[in-house]
A and B are shown apart, each in its own frame.
Chain A
Amino acid sequence: MIEVEGISKIFKKAESKKQKIYRTAPKTTFHALDRVSFSCQPGRIYTLLGPNGAGKTTALRIIASMLKPSEGTVKVAGIDINKDPRQARSQLGFLTGSTGLYDRLTPRETLKYFGQLHRVEPDVAQKRIDELIERLDIGDFADRRVGKLSMGQTQRVSIARTLMHDPQVIIFDEPTNGLDILASRTIIDWIRECRTIGKTIIFSTHIMGEVSLLSDDLGVIHKGKLCYNDTFENFKAEHGEHTLEDAFISILEGAE
């Protein structure tokens, strides 16, 4: 369960040299997120949809407690990220399309390392590594170096790495970004699988096709503001006659 309660993020814009010397303009700030609230339930997928630069990644990084919110807070599985970020992180898995792995480690070594970082007990970790290798069909290349694997294989290792500490909440930040259709499919299938076993899932994308494939709940984010937040069923009912893309554009235009 994730409860996002009115988070904002203000970045200071870097001043140009000229501004620094002459002070021609006051210090500028940039609202990457403006009081965003929503919640996601276990066994459901919450899709965060938005154009590039809308604030999706910033929101997800705050939920994952990599960034500190300027105001507001987030509860991950009931744990406040401002109060106990480490405990919150132990309940959280994070996967992005750009997430890499260590090329010179094997999948088995990678899983072991992340088990250690998350302080999974060694015998539990060993069991889970075997289990993940089997479930994700990694066995054939579990002892080959990651750098030598295909993209699809690497993605499966990335998923196993995300699940290594058995998190309750999993964040997928544009996980199919830059992947080919087969590798994307692996990810999509696994996001569904995670839903089946009762995980709370946030998934961000700007690809409309993925929205209808996965969403239970939908949030549309634009220029740092959440301008739609409801179940996907309701969204479809409201915009029945339009294609998804038209509906998305009309929401963005409504928010302007």
Chain B
Amino acid sequence: MKTIWAVFKKEGLDTIRDRRAIISMIVIPMFIFPVIFGGLGFFAIKEVRKAQNKQVIIGLVQPIPENAVVSALRETEGFTVTDLEGDVDPFDQVENTKIDAVIVFESDFAEALEGAGAGKMTLYYRSTGNGGIMRSRIMSVVNDYRQEVRESRIQSLGYSMDFINPVDVSFEDTATQQEQIGEAVGGFIPYIFIILCFTGAMYPAIDLGAGEKERGTLETLLTSSAPLTHILMGKLLLIICSGLFAAGLSLTSMGFAMLSMGSMIGEFASTIGPMLQPLNIILFFSLLLPLTILFASSLLTLSFFAKSFKEAQSIISPMVAVIIFPLVFGMMPWVKLSYVTALIPILNISLASKAIFSGNVPWGPVVVVYVSLISFAAIGFVACTKLVGRESILFRS
């Protein structure tokens, strides 16, 4: 026990003094959520709002029928309407002048509307950028007018609107809001935590195995009278702590990000908030612990197998892809936690956390998830101590 603690303390000190490890363990987990929420969320919302409030310049090509739809466009706030000569090229106007959209009316627009026909108009606009938002702003004015005309035409025939709307459906969603969000975000949150946990453990693992070989300190370690298993356990303990620390730190930073940016992204924060109850977080981290032990054991084994730091990096980096695949698979809405999926590591924690965060935990499969993860952790740990003790791995060069 003393040896394990001594190794743990030394490796901890060594890791804390290592700038590269600090980046993967502290800096990235600390900033990833503020960047996702703040950077993407905040700017996306800001852009949409900007587009919604932008003064849109609409050009109407003469001849312009003076009827209700045109006057509605002229009067709507946020629109500036200018009249254009009949011979302008609408395409050129949108592309090369300040005008955002051009409307060309067919010559019989007014007559068709007054009769029982449809007035034809063409809207020229640019769909890229925020063009979609602008189009729907213009269309909402047109649609209001449409609805008005539709109603008066139906009424003049002596019918009600139900005449053209024969089946009236209303929807009642039995899924609670937490369940809906749990499904949408529940797969995404653990995805980030697990990746960060892995990358947080990755750097120390490479340094503690392959780094030891590369520096030539492995031999001195092996000639000490401390048993190899104790040395490995000390190292594993540090790698596990690094992984969990990175995941825990990202959780804290997510909390702070939500508190500080709550006002800007209020809707998102208030929907995620109820998911992050203490019990859910404890459940999730208790699942993450055995998975981290499995990660640490496999990482340390591969790291000791590698001849050098570089080789260890090139062996271990592709493992991120191996982890991402089951996580992405677990994010699919049709993949559910069952007694079968509960057996597959990584996929099972993704599915279990989806269930946990959406509030209805299927305890049977969740217990299987625990059993599966703990068994994998135990197998990983035993394999690590057995494999690393081999001469062919320790002295592979």
Contacts and interface: CB of A to CB of B under 8 A. Distances in A.
Given A100-B215, A161-B220, A86 B10 contact: no
B223 interface: yes
Interface residues of B, number: 25
Contact of A101 (B217, B226, B395): B217
B221 A117 contact: yes
A105 B224 contact: no
B219 A104 contact: no
Nearest to B5: A116
B219 A99 contact: yes
B2 A119 contact: yes
Given A99-B217, A109-B13, A117 B6 contact: yes
A113 interface: yes
A190 interface: no
A105 B10 contact: yes
Nearest to B15: A104
B224 A104 contact: no
Contacts of B219: 61, 66, 94, 96, 99
Contacts of A165: 224-225
Nearest to B7: A117
A89 B225 contact: yes
A64 B219 CA distance: 10
Contacts of A94: 219-220, 223
Contact of B216 (A61, A67, A100): A100
A215 B337 CA distance: 71
B220 A116 contact: no
Interface in A73-101: 86-87, 89-90, 92-94, 96, 98-101
A165 B224 CA distance: 9
B237 to A, nearest CB: 15
Interface string B263-305: 0000000000000000000000000000000000000000000
A84 to B, nearest CB: 10
A102 B14 contact: yes
Interface string A135-174: 0000000000100000000000000010001000000000
Interface in B198-223: 215-217, 219-223
Give the size category of A's interface with B: 20 to 34
Contact of B14 (A93, A105, A114, A117): A105
Contact of A64 (B17, B223, B226): B223
A188 to B, nearest CB: 20
B342 to A, nearest CB: 38
A93 B2 CA distance: 21
A105 B13 contact: yes
Interface in A46-89: 61, 64-68, 86-87, 89
Contacts of B226: 117-119
Contacts of A61: 219, 395
B227 interface: yes
B372 interface: no
Given A113-B6, A113-B10, A116-B3, A87 B391 contact: no
A245 interface: no
Nearest to B234: A117
B18 interface: yes
27 contacts: A64-B222, A66-B223, A86-B227, A90-B225, A92-B223, A93-B223, A94-B220, A96-B216, A98-B216, A99-B216, A100-B216, A100-B217, A104-B14, A104-B17, A104-B18, A105-B13, A105-B14, A109-B13, A116-B3, A116-B6, A117-B225, A117-B226, A117-B231, A118-B226, A119-B3, A145-B17, A165-B225
| 6 smallest beta-carbon distances between A and B, as pairs | A116-B6, A100-B215, A90-B225, A100-B216, A117-B224, A94-B223
Interface of B: 2-3, 6-7, 10, 13-14, 17-18, 215-217, 219-227, 231, 391, 394-395
Interface of A: 61, 64-68, 86-87, 89-90, 92-94, 96, 98-105, 109, 113-114, 116-119, 145, 161, 165
